């Protein structure tokens, strides 16, 4: 019994230690996505006997010549079975001796493009199915095949496989396969895809899915399963500088104050110097705490609690990043106005001027649509003008939030470069967005260029306000020398969290100055001893 228990424990440890690959299937309607997944599950012995028996007995069977309709293994909804289409994203799990897999079977219909984007958002590989018989009929790739390949490139999926399906219906023609491969590779090159593989398969007959096909001796590449088992998995989250969004402040007693969250990028080490955003206060990581004990380091995507050497003001939605000594290039973009590629998912269209909630890492803010820069025609890849975005359309949109976001471009980091748009009334997720970068209208340091003048220099305030508004920027003027210091501190804190540069023309005591700097270090210029021309220069207005 002891030997059996040891063997079982070894098996469990080996299984848990296996790599996990997530992949999605995409393509046009009736390309055979669900059948292909059913074939993978069946031929890798990942289907229980009672499941297979139920499929064999099903009154719905669209497979010809006595074949079992393997698509029924994944099309679980009644409407899917009756109509012979995939509507919802179906997730399936299977494993081999080399890897574990999670499959997202996504719909092919254009009206379910949003479902495809959802299923593909975390994928390592996109398997785009192409119906060889439909290609011969149309003489080109179908629009949905091009649409889904474009979305795969937009979502930054590292590897794309074109599975040319139904080769049995075109006589396993090498000429047809070569024509499809040439067009797909050319289209992928236009999209900038770096890893593209094309495999001829027959999901119905099982050719080149799990086993090598005897009907296509002219193909000497890997089967689909061999490719999935051997494709290298990129550890993108381990690369790049630290990003640690704070999810929760933990204070179980007076002796401990920790910041819980998930490492979104890079590596966090005990003893590292880090900077808190947006305050830009720097401190040292004292401990990295977990349920199983302290860790010397934590990397993406570990969830940990961090204890810092200094008591600094840090709360949910704020972020720990590398110390400024590492250099500005290691810091994320800090901006309220930015550009993002948006996949719209709701019946109500996106229109310029409307405000939504955005959820970015652990920060929730309000975002106003400032402009639709262009809409993408995924068939031709042309950029078109648009004043609204309807469901399943894709466009580059300019957004402005009420709080600054700390982000990287989506091309650099999926986690810190993505966000979702939420309807504030219904709480429905209405769009998914991939950040391109800060808008050109943002300042060089990413802060919204704005100004606070406190005290009675009315003429100077008017010159600053007029000059800033002429340059398309805003100025906040507090012209009351008797305003209490508590109110001043609260106002500057609120403005600094919104990315506003604050210039105080009021004399502050040392204690008052410390209070203000604690909230907005790096964003305040004390102007009480400065001449008017110097204040104008600091505010970006010509003297």
* Residue 236 phi, psi dihedral angles, 5° rounding: -60, -35
**Tens digit of pLDDT for each residue in 240-259?**
899 999 999 998 888 899 99
Length of the chain: 543
Eight-class DSSP state of 140: S
Q: What percent of the chain is modeled with pLDDT above 90?
A: 37
d(CA 431, CA 420): 6
Q: Mean pLDDT of all residues in the chain? A: 78
Residue 314 three-state SS: coil
Is residue 521 over pLDDT 70?
A: no
Third-level CATH fold of 244-330: Elongation Factor Tu (Ef-tu); domain 3 (2.40.30)
3-class SS letters over 252-272: EECCEEEEEEECCECEEECCC
Instruction: Taking residues 71-91, report their average pLDDT.
Output: 51
pLDDT at 111: 57
**Tens digit of pLDDT for each residue in 156-197?**
888 999 999 999 999 999 999 999 999 999 999 988 888 999
The architecture (CATH level 2) of 333-442 comes to Beta Barrel (2.40)
Q: How confident is the model at residue 64 (pLDDT cuts 50, 70, 90)?
A: low
CB atoms within 10 A of CB 328: 7
* Residue 168 phi, psi dihedral angles, 5° rounding: -65, -30
Q: CA-CA-CA-CA torsion for 435, 441, 443, 448, nearest 10 degrees?
A: -80
Instruction: Taking residues 489-511, report their average pLDDT.
Output: 55
Query: Which has more confidence, 359 or 527?
Result: 359
- Do domains 8-230 and 333-442 share one topology? The answer is no
d(CA 498, CA 135): 53
pLDDT at 79: 42
Superfamily of domain 8-230: P-loop containing nucleotide triphosphate hydrolases (3.40.50.300)
Paired tokens of 149: 């390949």
pLDDT at 74: 61
Residue ranges covered by each domain of the chain: 8-230, 244-330, 333-442, 451-538
Work out whether strand 20-27 and strand 100-105 pair parallel, antiparallel, or are unpaired: parallel
Strand partners, 521: none
pLDDT at 243: 95
Closest of 174, 168, 104, 176 to residue 141, by C-alpha: 176
């Amino acid at each position: 019994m002891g030997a059996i228990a040891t063997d079982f424990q070894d098996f469990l440890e080996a299984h848990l230690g296996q790599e996990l690959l997530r992949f999605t299937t995409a393509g046009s309607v009736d390309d055979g996505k669900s059948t292909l997944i059913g074939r993978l599950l069946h031929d890798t012995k990942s289907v229980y006997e009672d499941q297979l028996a139920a499929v064999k007995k099903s009154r719905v069977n669209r497979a010809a010549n006595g074949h079992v309709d393997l698509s029924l293994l994944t099309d679980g909804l009644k409407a899917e079975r009756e109509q012979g289409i995939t509507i919802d994203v179906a997730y399936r799990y299977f494993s081999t001796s080399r890897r574990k897999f999670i499959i997202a079977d996504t719909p092919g219909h254009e009206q379910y493009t949003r479902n495809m984007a959802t299923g593909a958002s975390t994928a390592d590989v996109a398997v785009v199915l192409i119906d060889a018989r439909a290609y011969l009929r149309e003489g080109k790739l179908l629009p949905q095949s091009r649409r889904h390949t474009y979305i795969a490139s937009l979502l930054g999926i590292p590897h794309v496989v074109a599975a040319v399906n139904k080769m049995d219906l075109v006589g396993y023609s090498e000429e047809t396969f070569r024509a499809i491969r040439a067009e797909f590779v050319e289209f992928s090159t236009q999209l900038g895809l770096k890893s593209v593989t094309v495999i001829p398969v027959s999901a119905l007959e099982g050719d080149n899915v799990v086993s090598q096909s005897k009907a296509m001796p002219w193909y000497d590449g890997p089967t689909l399963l061999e490719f999935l088992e051997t494709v290298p998995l990129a550890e993108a989250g381990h690369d790049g500088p630290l990003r640690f969004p704070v999810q929760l402040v933990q204070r179980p007693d007076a002796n401990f104050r920790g910041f819980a969250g998930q490492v979104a990028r890079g590596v966090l080490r005990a003893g590292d110097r880090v900077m808190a955003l947006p305050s830009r206060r720097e401190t040292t990581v004292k401990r990295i705490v977990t349920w199983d004990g302290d860790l010397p380091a934590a990397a993406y995507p570990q969830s940990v609690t961090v204890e810092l050497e200094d008591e600094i003001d840090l709360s949910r939605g704020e972020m720990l990043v590398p110390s400024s000594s590492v250099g500005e290039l290691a810091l994320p973009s800090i901006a309220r106005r930015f550009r993002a590629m948006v996949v719209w998912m709701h019946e109500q269209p996106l229109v310029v001027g409307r405000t939504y909630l955005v959820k970015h890492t652990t920060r929730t803010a309000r975002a106003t649509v400032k402009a639709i820069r262009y809409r993408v025609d995924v068939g031709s890849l042309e950029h078109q003008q648009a004043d609204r975005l309807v469901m399943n359309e894709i466009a580059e949109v300019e957004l402005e939030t009420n709080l600054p976001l700390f982000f990287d471009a989506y091309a650099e980091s999926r986690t810190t470069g993505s966000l979702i748009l939420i309807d504030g009334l219904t709480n429905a997720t209405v769009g998914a967005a991939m950040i391109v970068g800060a808008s050109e209208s943002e300042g060089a340091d990413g802060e919204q260029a704005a100004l606070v003048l406190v005290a009675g220099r009315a003429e100077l305030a008017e010159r600053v306000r007029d000059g800033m508004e002429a340059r398309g920027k805003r100025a906040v003027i507090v012209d009351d020398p008797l305003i209490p210091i508590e109110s001043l501190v609260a106002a500057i804190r609120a403005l600094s969290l919104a990315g506003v540069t604050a210039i105080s023309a009021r004399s502050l005591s040392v204690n008052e100055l410390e209070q203000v700097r604690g909230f907005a270090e790096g964003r305040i210029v004390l102007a009480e001893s400065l001449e008017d021309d110097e204040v104008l220069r600091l505010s970006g207005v010509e003297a």
